[in-house]
Amino acid sequence: MGQLAERVGVRTPSLYSHIVNQDDLNRRIAALAFVEAAEAIRAGTQGHAGRDALGAAARAFRTFVLTHPGRYAATIGVDPVGPDDLIAVAGARLVDSLTAVLESYGVGPDDMDHALRALRSFFHGFATLQAAHGFQWPTDIDESYEWLIALVDRGLRSPGPAGPAGPSSGRAPGGRSPSSGPVSARGAAAGDPPSPPLRHTSTSG
C-alpha cells in the first residue's frame, strides 16, 4: 500500500479514505478489469454473429489481457460474496458478452455453462501464456491465435452431445439462423443469460 500511495502522490493513510484494505483494492481492480474486458468485447462484436463475432471477441479479449496483464490477473480466483457484490455485477457483464457470441451459434441454456467454460479456457489460456512470454517457437503467434479461433468455430458449428445447432440444421433454437442474428448493442443476442449472473462470475470453475 505504501508503494501505491507513493505512486499516486499521497500519504498511505489517505488511501483508506477510498478503500478499506488490500483485499478491497484487489476486488476493485478485478471488477474494473471485468467491465473493461466486457466493453471491449461488446464493441468488437456489435453487429456481428457466428465466426465474425467469435473472432472479434477473441481478439478483443487477447488484446485486453496483453495490454493489462496485471489488471486481468486480479480477476483470477476472485469470487463474489453475493448477487449485488461488485464482482458479481461486473463479472456478469463479461459473461453476457460471451453468452451473446455463443447464442449466435445456437448454443442453448443446457449447454451454455459448458460452452462458456470451454471458450474461456481456450482464450484465457492462450492470452495468459502469451502475456507470460510462454511462446518461444518462431511460428507467428497471431497466426496460431487465428488457428485457435478457427478450431473453436468448427467445434461450435458441429453438433455436440447435447446438440447445439450446426451446419446440419442451419438454424438456432427458435428458428433463428446462427449466422443471421447479430450481437446487439446490449451484448445479448436473445434474452437474459441462461442462469443468474452469480453462477458464472466465479473464476474457479
pLDDT of residue 1: 52
Tell the residue number behind the cell numbers 460471451, with chain if given.
Answer: 98
pLDDT of residue 8: 54
Angle between helices 22-45 and 50-67 (to 10 degrees): 150
pTM: 0.73
Is the pLDDT higher at 184 or at 99?
A: 99
What tens digit of pLDDT does each residue of 145-178 get?
999 999 999 999 986 654 454 433 333 333 334 4
199/57 Cα distance (integer angstroms): 21
Distances from the Cα of 194 to the Cα of 100, 131, 190, 197, 198, angstroms: 11, 32, 10, 9, 12
User: Per-residue confidence at 190, pLDDT binned at 50, 70, 90?
Assistant: very low
Q: Where are the domains of the chain?
A: 21-201
Q: What is the CATH number of domain 21-201?
A: 1.10.357.10
Is the pLDDT higher at 56 or at 3?
A: 56
User: Per-residue confidence at 134, pLDDT binned at 50, 70, 90?
Assistant: very high
Query: In this structure, how many other beta carbons lie within 10 angstroms of the beta carbon of residue 35?
Result: 16
User: Per-residue confidence at 20, pLDDT binned at 50, 70, 90?
Assistant: low
What tens digit of pLDDT does each residue of 28-64 get?
999 999 999 999 999 999 999 999 999 999 999 999 9
Given CA atoms 39, 20, 71, 200 in this order, what sign does their dihedral have?
negative
Tell the residue number behind the cell numbers 501505491, with chain if given.
Answer: 4
What tens digit of pLDDT does each residue of 53-97 get?
999 999 999 999 999 999 999 999 888 888 889 999 999 999 999
